[in-house]
Amino acid sequence: SIIAIVRGTKAKEVIKALEKIPEMLRMSVVEVTLDFSDSMHSIVEKCFPNAMRTLDRFHHQQFCLEALQEVRREYRREQMTKDANDREEHRLRMKELAKNDGPWIDEDGNPIRRNAKFYPKRLENEETRAELLARSKGLLMMSPNKWTDTQKERAEILFREFPAIKTAFSLTHSLRMIFSQKCSKEQGAESLRSWYGKVAEFGNKAFNDIAAAMYDRENEILNYFVNRSTNASAESFNAKVKQFRALLRGIIDRKFFLFRLTKIYA
């Protein structure tokens, strides 16, 4: 195997470095995994023209997770605004009631304690709607079979209170399941077409954009089902290099750094 470290991500610089590899070796490469980057696409097309290009499954899954979290964050912003408005309305009401000498009662005829503080309504798991949305971030990143009992209860309430989050989670999880199944490229294409239809029914812009981007590069995405190749090993190595660099608190001697890196990870 050959490891090349190139400064920066400019296509011209990377192509220049890769062209130092003998052409016969580059022509023998049968598959390259890559992300949605246009520059990476042009690099592979120039340096490895015979290779099958496979888009890494984890990148489009990550896009869906980000879109799902944005749906959750939007609801949380709306809920926090609503709570702030309710709090202000409660303050003004207390101020108005303070002017009256009569009994303090609400619309239902129940007595109101003087100078009562505002408390948002709590759900059956003792969380407010804003707290529910804030604490659901982690569980939405996981498969349901990994949820704890507390997370299962929270998810049930979350999906009941916010059906759009349930739909967004379902779309994200179903995409994960499509790439988890062992099937042919044709079967994968059929599953993706069904997924596109569900995205269209949902009508969320972020998910529509993801589906459109995937449709444009569908053949490269479906190449995953040929050998089930991913960028996992490269991403793992990249994370190790970043962690090693962080432990050193910066690099002064680049050659010695690469020497140590080779001894530890090569």
Q: Under DSSP, is residue 102 helix (H, G, I), strand (E, B) or coil?
A: coil
- Give pLDDT tens digits for 160-188: 999 999 999 999 999 999 999 899 999 99
Query: Measured between alpha carbons, how far is 177 from 14 in angstroms, rounded to an integer?
Result: 34
| Residues forming a β-bridge with 111 | 105
Q: What percent of the chain has pLDDT over 90?
A: 59
Alpha-carbon radius of gyration of the chain: 27
- In this prediction the pTM is 0.81
Which residues does 141 contact at the CB level (< 8 Å), separation at least 6?
Answer: 65
